[in-house]
Structure 1
Amino acid sequence: MEHTVPNRMHPLLAIAAFSLTLVSLVGAASILGLLPNSQAKGSVAPDMAAPTAQISQPVTAQAQPPQPQPQPRQVVEHRTVVHHTYAPARQASRDDDQPRVVQAPVQRAPAPQNSAVGIGLGAVVGGLLGNQVGDGRGRTLATIAGAMGGAYAGNEIAKRNQQQQ
């Protein structure tokens, strides 16, 4: 009697591999600044320096001097100051009888760059979705096509996020 080993991977192992990959990609995207950050102001933790309640003490014959209360913390905001400098005006001469047209330089936004994280994440998701289609050689082709399409879509999404910032 022969014992055959199944060719399939255990589903829990596949789920663990997928979740590890997903967490790694989200961490990489966070480090690269591709995920939005919270712009909340203020502190989440309560201020520990402020007294919460007065504790009543028994009255004694000696009067104790009142203890000074700690000052509450003040929030300090830093603002950036921009100083503009302008070119000095030219002195008009006799040759300048006709008005001149001066065009301001056109400032164009930099072209968005390809994103390795967007390409990688899109390729993984597209490959996983393509692997669910077909059987045999068709599944292999669908996986490859899904990975390429996902890489393209992930790159385009990353470019749009760069343009918005």
Structure 2
Amino acid sequence: MNNLNMIKLEEIEQENRYKYLHFLLLADESEEVVRTYMNEGDLFAIYFNQQIVGTVLFTHHQNKVVELKNIAITENDRNKGFGKVVIEQSCNLYKQNGFTSMIVGTANSSIGNLAFYQKAGFRMVHIKKDFFLKYESPIYENGIRALDMVMFEKNLS
């Protein structure tokens, strides 16, 4: 099993974010949509054994809420526990920085993500109906069309 304590987050400077667009597109299929948020908040490269395995982007909201906007792990590095560790590390980081909750949204069709976030301690809080209708092409996963965004929240205090 991988030594998961070898996972490190390294913040990416604003002027270098465009170099990581291909990672962000692993988690969000619309380049047009990704470009609307990729320069907001905090973007981190995810390293394992000093090799980049993905990125994670967080945006800040009112009332000390941080949103996990995009987490992308390269295909070869998925299902190894990296995402779980990244969420644990980032929850600790944002809690230390005074945030009280973390939110995240995923498509109704993303069965694996729905399970993943609940296993990570997030609770469903609401649905953004027809969220994915604004995407230029329909998205299908698991034979289900992505239409709605399922929003989750995790208390950090």
Higher radius of gyration, 1 or 2: 1
TM-score over 0.5 for the alignment? no
- Shorter-chain TM-score: which interval? under 0.3
The structure carrying a bigger strand percent of its residues is 2
